[in-house]
Each structure stands twice: as structure tokens, then as C-alpha cells.
């Protein structure tokens, strides 16, 4: 490959966003925005560190030492969490793998950069609700009012689909199928299979809402605010808090709990898993690009079962401790 055929760093970045992410991988606008912010932060840091403007940066400038300094800057100076740091690194890794196919002369630099490890982060056990707790929240809104009817549909769709808030508030009437097998088309992060089936009670609520709520034009938002516009995340959180407060009066186990829209999403996944649904189907249901993300629900389910088994263990039974038969084994066991 001659020097003339090697694209500049600036050209690679543009092709990466327009062709690779936008056309070939067809990632969501949210993912493109996250990658864009990563590059903006990196190029601003690079200009300060090595004195090159963004347009003058070369791929070979992205040495592992520079990237490590950048990641450290994110944590120490900008106060980013380890999760944010890892997300920025994941974006850069995706770009570097793409760039390696177009600039063979930079492969050595790229390989060293790709060797930068993700930082370990302790993942807390996910929070989720029992079926009775979810049902109490679904029944909490007053269905004699316009907002109460809308909120019942809102929470039922959230639980049925396990969708993110951004996906739920973006649903339009044309995205709903009520003939035959009822379903909803969701548009958002990771949705390779955006059509999610609706359970019969959910479909019945949607039909009633379409009839009584005055949302029938195909471009109408299915779940609008009072002005007929799109609800916001804050709207959804506020309405959920009100529903939880009302449900708590009938189900005290909800008292003092921090219940966000994402907890409803977690609850959907756990209930599907506990019903015997395959993990790959749950990943599609939730719009996970990688089934590894969905495995946290298996870990949570196993943890619950372990806790239940420990309560069944007789009090006077002492488990024997395994004794390694070899010095090397003892050493490894002690690590």
C-alpha cells in the first residue's frame, strides 16, 4: 500500500462515522453521539498534550501511552466513572480495529493500543420487582382520568416490552399492530429485531386507549403529554413515582424502594428468565447487541437461588473444608 493510498486520520474518522457506523453497522443515533463525544474529548486532549490540531493528528500519534493518559484524564480530571472510562475505551477500540484495515503501517501502534485493558468494575446486583409488585404498580393509576388511562398503557408497555424510556416515549400510532398477533415496533439502541409481541392484556389496554384517548392519527405519539407532544424522561419518572406511591398503600413491600423505569426493564428480563425463556430470546427482547449483557440476569437469578438454599441449610450442619493434597495446590488455593 503506497503512502498516497493511505487515508489521513481525519479521513478515516469521517469514513468511520459515515460509512462504517452509519451505513455498514447501522448503529443507533445514540451510539453515534456517544462515539462522537469520545473523539471530541480525545482530540481536545491530544491538542493540549502534543500540540497538534485535530486535523493534523496522525493515526500513529494515538500511542498506547497517549491513550492511557487520556483515560486517566477522564477519571482524575473530568471525574468520570470507571464505566464511562471503559465506554470511551470501547469506542476507541472499535475505531482502531476499523483503522487497522486501512493503514497497515500503523498496525504496530494499533496493536499496542488495543492491548489496553478495560478496568474492572464491581457490578451491583440488579434490582427488580416481584410479579405482584409490578402488578400493583400497573393497577395504581386512576383509570377514570385521561392521565391515569395513559399511565396504565405506559407502564404496561414498559413491562411488556422491557424497552428503554427513549424507545417507549417515541412510539407512534403507526408503530402499533393490533390485528392478528399484536406487536409494537421499537426504534432505539441495539434494536436489530425491533418488533416485540404484545401480551393480550397489554393489547386490550392499547385498543381502549386508542379509542378513548384521542390518539388515532398514524403520526400521533401513542403516549403524549397533555399538550399532545412527546413525553420526556422526567415525565415518565414523575408518573412512575406517583404510581409507586399509590401502590405502596396496598403493598408495603414497595415502601422505601428506589424504583426507576430501568427497574421495570430489569423486572421484565428476570420474569422472562424465570418463566424459562431462552437467554438469547431475552437479549433480542431487550434490544441487547451482545448476549453477554443479558447474562447479568442469570447471575442475579443464581444469587437469589443461593440465598434461598442457604436459608434451608440446617443450623447445626457444618460443611467440611476442602484440604488441598499438594503444596502447589495449597499455594494456588491461598491466592
Give the active site residues: 164, 189, 262, 265, 288, 297
Q: How far apart are CA 114 and CA 93, in angstroms?
A: 6
Q: How far apart are CA 154 and CA 187, in angstroms?
A: 16
Q: Which residue has the cell 468511520?
A: 16
Nearest to 150 by CA among 203, 200, 225, 204: 225
Q: How far apart are CA 29 and CA 31, in angstroms?
A: 5
Taking 3-state DSSP, the helix, strand and coil percentages for the chain, each rounded to the nearest 5, stand at 60, 5, 35
Burial grade of 99 (CB within 10 A; 0-12, 13-18, 19 or more): buried
Nearest to 133 by CA among 283, 275, 268, 234: 268
Q: How far apart are CA 284 and CA 224, in angstroms?
A: 27
Q: Are strands 176-177 and 195-197 parallel, antiparallel or unpaired?
A: unpaired
Q: How far apart are CA 118 and CA 71, in angstroms?
A: 10
Tell me which DSSP letter residue 120 carries: P
Find all residues with CB under 8 Å of 68, minimum gap 6, and list them: 116
Q: Check if the beta carbon of residue 165 is closer than 8 Å to that of residue 236.
A: yes
Q: Check if the beta carbon of residue 136 is closer than 8 Å to that of residue 254.
A: yes
Nearest to 224 by CA among 146, 145, 140, 144: 146
Q: How far apart are CA 100 and CA 35, in angstroms?
A: 18
Amino acid at each position: 500500500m503506497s503512502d498516497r493510498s493511505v487515508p489521513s486520520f481525519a479521513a478515516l474518522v469521517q469514513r468511520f462515522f459515515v460509512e462504517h457506523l452509519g451505513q455498514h453497522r447501522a448503529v443507533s443515533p445514540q451510539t453515534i453521539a456517544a462515539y462522537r463525544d469520545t473523539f471530541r474529548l480525545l482530540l481536545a486532549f491530544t491538542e493540549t498534550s502534543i500540540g497538534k490540531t485535530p486535523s493534523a493528528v496522525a493515526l500513529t500519534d494515538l500511542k498506547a501511552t497517549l491513550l492511557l493518559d487520556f483515560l486517566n484524564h477522564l477519571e482524575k480530571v473530568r471525574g468520570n466513572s470507571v464505566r464511562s472510562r471503559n465506554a470511551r475505551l470501547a469506542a476507541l477500540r472499535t475505531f482502531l480495529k476499523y483503522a487497522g484495515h486501512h493503514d497497515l503501517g500503523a498496525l504496530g501502534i494499533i496493536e499496542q493500543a488495543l492491548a489496553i485493558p478495560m478496568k474492572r468494575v464491581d457490578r451491583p446486583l440488579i434490582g427488580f420487582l416481584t410479579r405482584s409488585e409490578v402488578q400493583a404498580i400497573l393497577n395504581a393509576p386512576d383509570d377514570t382520568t385521561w392521565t391515569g388511562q395513559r399511565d396504565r398503557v405506559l407502564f404496561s408497555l414498559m413491562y411488556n416490552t422491557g424497552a428503554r424510556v427513549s424507545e417507549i416515549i417515541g412510539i407512534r400510532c403507526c408503530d402499533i399492530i393490533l390485528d392478528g398477533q399484536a406487536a409494537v415496533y421499537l426504534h432505539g439502541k441495539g434494536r436489530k429485531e425491533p418488533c416485540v409481541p404484545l401480551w393480550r392484556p397489554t393489547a386490550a389496554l392499547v385498543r381502549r386507549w386508542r379509542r378513548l384517548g384521542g390518539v388515532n392519527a398514524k403520526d400521533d405519539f401513542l403516549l403524549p403529554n397533555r399538550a399532545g407532544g412527546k413525553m420526556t424522561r422526567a415525565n415518565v419518572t414523575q408518573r412512575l413515582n406517583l404510581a409507586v406511591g399509590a401502590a405502596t398503600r396496598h403493598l408495603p413491600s414497595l415502601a422505601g424502594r428506589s424504583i426507576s423505569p430501568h427497574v421495570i426493564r430489569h423486572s421484565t428480563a428476570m420474569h422472562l428468565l424465570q418463566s424459562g425463556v431462552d437467554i438469547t430470546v431475552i437479549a433480542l427482547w431487550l434490544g441487547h447487541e451482545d448476549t453477554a449483557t443479558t447474562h447479568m440476569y442469570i447471575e442475579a437469578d443464581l444469587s437469589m437461588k443461593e440465598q434461598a438454599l442457604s436459608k434451608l441449610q440446617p443450623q447445626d450442619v457444618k460443611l467440611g473444608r476442602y484440604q488441598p493434597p499438594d503444596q502447589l495446590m495449597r499455594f494456588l488455593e491461598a491466592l
